[in-house]
Structure 1
């Protein structure tokens, strides 16, 4: 993160210090706020999170122990803030500096500070925040790991929206890491210490939908042998993640919309509604333009769940990330299958980079896991890497189409022609009865590379 994009809070009981720091930073940062009374920190952080905090260690006390600063440092962390925090004091003490760093501070500076040094320290900490975000790796294998511009844009967007309570819609193909993005948003939010509840709503039948989401009382229906707490109540105070939202029926959409509008649920068999406080994140692999078809999905529900949308890029558009992810998975599965130190041959990297990965990061992960298991040497060879036949491009092109939608049929015909002619656009266009220009227009329309 750059200083010009940063939101900074300065906390000190000395108005001269507040003025000096504000004047120094306001021309370089996006936003600079000052606060004299640390008792107001909770209300400030509930309204918004900050990228960086400069905080005094002694407030209205004749005993300069720094305990007050450490207390408020802990309170900020308890609120779930990921802000970088610089502790500032006029009394230099190595033990105090060490204690503040152990409690979660990012840096420690003495007053009076040198302006150039303070600015440099702030810039360095903000830069580290970005690097740390990029390097975060989920133990299950993070689709958010990467250095490409496409994934860095996603990480930057998550960093901005996570501290808010805005409803988020995550879009993207299967295997791009939508669930990991949802976890990242929760972990960087002010609800991080509260429940994160995930439900695959697309797999729920009509009969299970309301019971699973809203709960039921004992005896509400034939098999209701005991009371059940629904997912909305279980997520109270935290985050509710509804995966595959694009696959629910219009009737289910109507029930969900009512709950989101009223912010309360009524269990099956009950009459008294229960208020719920949740942050909603939804995900789907259905393109937004298809969701906008009211025969398939209610527009009023789209607006309700889509305050902000995040589009996760397919792996084929994440230039340079395949090798990085592959090496991460080699290390992960090398340790799991007792092959520590296993490497990745240069020709294996070339093979991976030449493949289009229709199954995205998930397909790469499984391919590397299999390669690690099959490898006999010190490094994975090209022959060890086998791509799953269930994720080939041919899987998109079936003799009996799943859909008779004209756009889908046209896209499949184009894919089949390109596959048949081994990528030769001229031959594919001729077989389709199109000019090269007309085919290129359709390639752009359906985002075919």
Structure 2
């Protein structure tokens, strides 16, 4: 007969009980420890984690009150609140054992015992111990995952008046459960701001779940957000928990909400209104409790157009509306943000770079930064990699097009492409042609990744890979 995996501690001052108990339990369980002096319990618990502990109610001749059992039960539960304790008592002490169960014991065994009764009781206790240990481990794991996912991974550098206004709104709305809609161009830091709201909210110790709706295929939308049951559709080999249910108690960040088609907007609205989600293949709704933060790069005029976005969904999402300014409108932040990324990438690539040449600072302030902070970050990383001196110069950053912040960003033509020397335009260099084409598409669509990817005939993921490849 195979032994059941289980670590058991038997504590009794009767040597006959210890011998009989160990002989019985070792035939059925993998690890049995005996102890005839309860004073050794703290040392044993500090050395090993037991799945079940059998504890006598009385120690010493003439003891029958159970006070010693109560004392050591309290001590065990103080040392390990998840401990599974079975009390051992004489037939006349059943009432005392029941009182011990009220104080936290799991079960009791009356002696003289019956072997079958002992094995059944200990077996159930060991299973309970395993469950508690697994639950405790999951709690620790989840805490680590929550801490990792909820942490604000990038600092918010905000010296400009426009960003100070945004941070003031964050400070006022974060402590509430109000839904927040964050507007702004691509690369302005919408997810960073969403994480800051979560970190300052009462839900900060729970999960922050980010979903890029622009990257979720329409056919997978319901499965991704609502979940599904095994067999709900071809390929559903097991149950899947949807993002709404997984974020229960925390914050759900819906990025690129403006890319969601109208028919899927209706489904999302229904779920958010009912605060209940029904996984595909299930026939019963599951309540959830999440705070929703949504973000989009759609202009306000398009967002308030019923042909593009359901107004009833908009009203549910924008209890608080936060608009992040583009980088060209927060000139006071350009240098400190650039200095932050310079320090970060200098450490990453083991470079000694002390700062920026004055000419480069002037150029960075004149440039329009159509890709906003994301473009600045990539530009600094590329410059750090290519730099030869101890400070960055205009030749390192390669900002070939400089547009003053007061001028509009070109929408249809990328000046960095058209301003190139005529002989360069005739070069049949596939790498350069691909880079120029991607740059033109991004500029034409105001760095809307979804629209640019569609125009280029690429997926969002493929476009991101090419942008990373060319340092865009």
Same fold flag (TM > 0.5): yes
From 366, 369, 382, the equivalent of 1:357 is 369
The equivalences for 1:362-401 within 5 A come to 362-387=374-399, 396-397=411-412
Distance between the aligned counterparts of 2:386 and 2:179, measured in 1? Answer: 44
After superposition, the Cα gap between the structure-2 partners of 1:217 and 1:364, relative to the gap in structure 1 and judged at 3 Å, is: same
Gap regions ≥5 residues in structure 1: 1-136, 400-414, 417-449
After superposition, the Cα gap between the structure-2 partners of 1:394 and 1:353, relative to the gap in structure 1 and judged at 3 Å, is: closer
Tell whether 2:155 aligns with 1:156: no
Secondary structure, in 3 states, of the residue corresponding to 1:194?
coil
From 291, 313, 327, the equivalent of 2:339 is 327
From 355, 373, 391, the equivalent of 1:343 is 355
Tell me the alpha carbon deviations over residues 128-178 of structure 1, each in whole angstroms, 9 at most, x when there is no partner: xxxxxxxxx954x44x31201011111111011000000000000011000
The equivalences for 1:34-53 within 5 A come to none
What TM-score, normalized by structure 2, do the two folds share?
0.53
Q: How many residues align?
A: 263
2:194 alignment partner in structure 1:
182
CA radius of gyration, larger in: 2
1:308 alignment partner in structure 2:
320
Q: Do 1:164 and 1:189's aligned partners in 2 also have CA atoms closer than 8 Å?
A: yes
1:285 alignment partner in structure 2:
297
After superposition, the Cα gap between the structure-2 partners of 1:376 and 1:398, relative to the gap in structure 1 and judged at 3 Å, is: closer
Secondary structure, in 3 states, of the residue corresponding to 1:198?
strand
1:273 alignment partner in structure 2:
285
Q: Do 2:152 and 2:195's aligned partners in 1 also have CA atoms closer than 8 Å?
A: no
2:158 alignment partner in structure 1:
146
After superposition, the Cα gap between the structure-2 partners of 1:387 and 1:223, relative to the gap in structure 1 and judged at 3 Å, is: farther
Q: Do 1:171 and 1:311's aligned partners in 2 also have CA atoms closer than 8 Å?
A: yes
Tell me the alpha carbon deviations over residues 67-93 of structure 1, each in whole angstroms, 9 at most, x when there is no partner: xxxxxxxxxxxxxxxxxxxxxxxxxxx
Q: Do 2:248 and 2:288's aligned partners in 1 also have CA atoms closer than 8 Å?
A: yes
Secondary structure, in 3 states, of the residue corresponding to 1:296?
coil
From 225, 235, 239, the equivalent of 1:227 is 239
Q: Do 1:330 and 1:344's aligned partners in 2 also have CA atoms closer than 8 Å?
A: no
From 214, 219, 222, the equivalent of 1:202 is 214
Distance between the aligned counterparts of 1:388 and 1:175, measured in 2? Answer: 20
2:182 alignment partner in structure 1:
170
2:260 alignment partner in structure 1:
248
Tell me the alpha carbon deviations over residues 104-126 of structure 1, each in whole angstroms, 9 at most, x when there is no partner: xxxxxxxxxxxxxxxxxxxxxxx
After superposition, the Cα gap between the structure-2 partners of 1:340 and 1:398, relative to the gap in structure 1 and judged at 3 Å, is: closer
Q: Do 1:201 and 1:242's aligned partners in 2 also have CA atoms closer than 8 Å?
A: yes
2:205 alignment partner in structure 1:
193
Q: Do 1:371 and 1:385's aligned partners in 2 also have CA atoms closer than 8 Å?
A: yes
Distance between the aligned counterparts of 2:210 and 2:293, measured in 1? Answer: 9
Q: Do 1:166 and 1:308's aligned partners in 2 also have CA atoms closer than 8 Å?
A: yes
Q: Do 1:334 and 1:342's aligned partners in 2 also have CA atoms closer than 8 Å?
A: no
The equivalences for 1:254-265 within 5 A come to 254-265=266-277
Q: Do 1:331 and 1:340's aligned partners in 2 also have CA atoms closer than 8 Å?
A: no
Distance between the aligned counterparts of 1:258 and 1:324, measured in 2? Answer: 44
Distance between the aligned counterparts of 2:238 and 2:188, measured in 1? Answer: 38
